[in-house]
Amino acid sequence: MTGNITGKPQSLGISVFHEIKRDILMASLAPGEKLGLKMLSDRYDCGASPIREALNQLAVEGWVQRIDKRGFFVADATAADFTDILQNRCLLEAEALRRAIAHGDSRWEEQVVVAHFRMSALDRDSDDRPGATVSAWEMAHRNFHEALISACNSRILLENCAKLYELNIRYRVLARGKSRVVRNVVHEHDEIKELTLKRDADAAVDALVRHYMATGDFLYPSR
């Protein structure tokens, strides 16, 4: 998910940051779990300094809760938080998609098409076991949603959407197998793509929001 593109070795603090984040995301580290420095030093095989560095950053991003002089804990994952994330995603991505449709050029259209194509080529539930690394589908899916809004022309909006997307993944992983509702995700994505390329902002946003809300019902049904 966070590959080191250049061959240069990045600092330990930075790579540990991504590793811990991935492990919280994929629920290898459970909500509420104590993140002791010694435990983490052993687990990620480095001294306490890079660990603290990573934990401080994760705390700001909301993955970790810090209590001064008492240590770090994996952030809780409550249904209320999930609802909050979902609602904010709808608000931000709706706006971002509108702006992208308004400003996007043909280069953007191509990105959307190719991202959608790559995602479609992958089987959804290929490799999404908890604890595993991030699956190819997950990356392609993320790439598709990022492509949709990439032309929104607002760095802040993109960053916030990305952050909420990542927070959301965790709930998908945590709730895996807890629902029997069957969804046709493929069709939903197709619809979003088509309406976006038609530049029908209202309909595209509507499809996108329904897509997210359906995710909500899927994970925590009956509301």
Residue 14 binds to a second copy (criterion: CB under 8 A): yes
Neighbours of 119 (CB within 10 A): 24
38 binds, among a second copy, DNA, none (CB under 5 to 8 A by kind): DNA
Mark 140-159 with x for binding to a second copy (rule: CB under 8 A) and - for no binding.
Answer: --------------xxxx--
**Which residue from 141, 138, 151, 93 is spatially nearest to 117, judged by alpha carbons?**
141
Residue 1 binds to a second copy (criterion: CB under 8 A): no
Which two tokens mark 41?
Answer: 């030093």
Residue 43 binds to DNA (criterion: CB under 7 A): no
Pick between residue 47 and residue 221 the one whose CB is nearest to DNA: 47
* Cβ 35 to DNA shortest distance, Å: 7
Q: For the range 120-123, what are the long-range contacts, defined as Cβ-Cβ under 8 Å and sequence gap of 24 or more?
A: 120/186, 120/189
Scanning the structure block, which residue is given the tokens 């069709």? 187
Residue 85 binds to a second copy (criterion: CB under 8 A): yes
**Which residue from 75, 71, 91 is spatially nearest to 167, judged by alpha carbons?**
75
91 binds, among a second copy, DNA, none (CB under 5 to 8 A by kind): a second copy
CA–CA distance, 143 with 150 (Å, rounded to integer): 10
Q: Which of 38, 69, 107, 223 binds a second copy (CB under 8 A)?
A: 69
Residue 223 binds to a second copy (criterion: CB under 8 A): no
